[in-house]
Amino acid sequence: MTAPHRLESPSAARMVIDGRPILNFGGSCYLGLSAQPELVTAGVRAIEQMGSTGQLPRHYNFVLAANLAAEDAAREFFGTEGAIYYATGYLFGPMAMTALADDYDVAVIDESGHYNLVEGARMAQRPIATFAHRDAQDLARVLDRLTAEGKRPLVATDGMFATFGTSPPLAEYQRLIDPHGGWLLVDESHSFGALGPTGQGACEVAGLSGDRVLRGGSMAKAFCAYGGMTVGSAAAIARLWQTPIARGAVSGMSAGAAMTAASLAYVRANPEVLERLRANSNCLRGMLRSCGLAVEENSSPVAAFVHGDAAGMRAIQQALWAQGIFVIYSTYVGAGAEGALRIAAFADHEAEDFERLKAALEPLV
């Protein structure tokens, strides 16, 4: 196995990797806050005050003050009754699906849904049915079949799919689910902070509401903090606290929780960071189209495309890397057999960054 590259700076538009300055269009630090003083200071203070983590678990009625601050900040940011902070966003699916296991018979998951949703259904010991990617009509077909069989559904999907930055028609999903009394789970790991007028994510864009909607995921992507967060009704969040995961795993580190609270507060107080991300996302798409590349029209900061075969796309990535520019050749979930080139805009990119990327990319495509 090839030795990994050494990241020697915060994840941002400009990074130091293996001692080299790199212009970065890879990863998911969408809001560009990794080195923001408010976040860094909050994390350092939390470690100094509380140590790395709390050893007395929540089910004995003890919790780090930093975790409570993160949950308070999330309730305020997302406008929900309940919030639960935990160690990593990957636990969203396993925690939510096991917590709600008594309420459904089959987990109905987008065929390109994130691994954590599939793992969650397996941990809950519930069978899985899939529906065509972002296809409400196919979801309706699956729900009608399950209802005819007397089975209760839980529908799970990403809010923004990691590779191509696309979002599903969540409002239509909720309209289909409501007559069945089912739950809708939305993994907002990539959409939290990146989508919606106030950065609440794909559910905000779709105007989703209701006591049978749970949204959650990573705080380590757009918000550049650490840990996972699920928000929803107080009753639903109370059920998540009873799961083996919530009872049996350390619920995150003090610095991660403190940085999460600081990041949520920072974005609420500085909406211009969302405006910069929107502007840069539009700039990226326009630049790629000017190179003759077909990228989907949406509001996400991710633009991905397939250009030729896998070997050709790897060659493009390597040629850009040689010029000090990093983009991802992705074989991640949803990328397809040949993979895809994935390019992301961050709020801390400058106009000249996109100009440099275009000058390097255009001769290669």
Estimate the share of the chain in helix, then strand, then coil, as percent rounded to the nearest 5.
45, 15, 40
Looking at residues 44-50, what average pLDDT do you find?
96
**pLDDT class for 151, splitting at 50, 70, 90?**
very high
Looking at residues 145-171, what average pLDDT do you find?
97
Mean pLDDT of the chain: 96
- Pairing label, strands 82-86, 228-232: antiparallel
**pLDDT class for 194, splitting at 50, 70, 90?**
very high
pLDDT surpasses 80 at 321: yes
pLDDT surpasses 80 at 236: yes
pLDDT surpasses 90 at 118: yes
The larger pLDDT score, comparing residue 251 to residue 139, is at: 139
Protein fold of 37-269: Aspartate Aminotransferase; domain 2 (3.40.640)
CA distances to 9, 112, 188, 244 from 27, rounded to whole Å, are 14, 19, 16, 31
Q: Please, which residues have CB within 8 angstroms of residue 250's CB and are 6 or more apart in sequence?
A: 53, 54, 57, 87
- Pairing label, strands 14-17, 20-24: antiparallel
Query: By the 8 A CB rule, do 251 and 87 touch?
Result: yes
CA angle 175, 116, 103 (to 5 degrees): 50
Cα gap 285→305, rounded to integer Å: 11
Which part of the chain is CATH 3.90.1150.10?
14-25+271-364
Query: By the 8 A CB rule, do 249 and 85 touch?
Result: no
Looking at residues 242-260, what average pLDDT do you find?
91
pLDDT surpasses 90 at 223: yes
200-222 b/e (C-beta count within 10 Å ≥ 16 → b): bbbbbbbebeeebbbbbbbbbbb
3-state SS of 235-303 is HHHHHHCCCHHHHHCCCCCHHHHHHHHHHHHHHHHCCHHHHHHHHHHHHHHHHHHHCCCCCCCCCCCEE
- As given in the structure block, the two tokens for residue 85 are 């902070």
14-25+271-364: CATH, from 3.90.1150.10, 3.20.19.10, 3.40.47.10, 3.40.50.2300? 3.90.1150.10
Residue 308, number of CB atoms within 10 A of its CB: 12
Which part of the chain is CATH 3.40.640.10?
37-269
CA 261 to chain centre: 17
Query: By the 8 A CB rule, do 170 and 203 touch?
Result: yes
pLDDT surpasses 90 at 54: no
pLDDT surpasses 80 at 305: yes
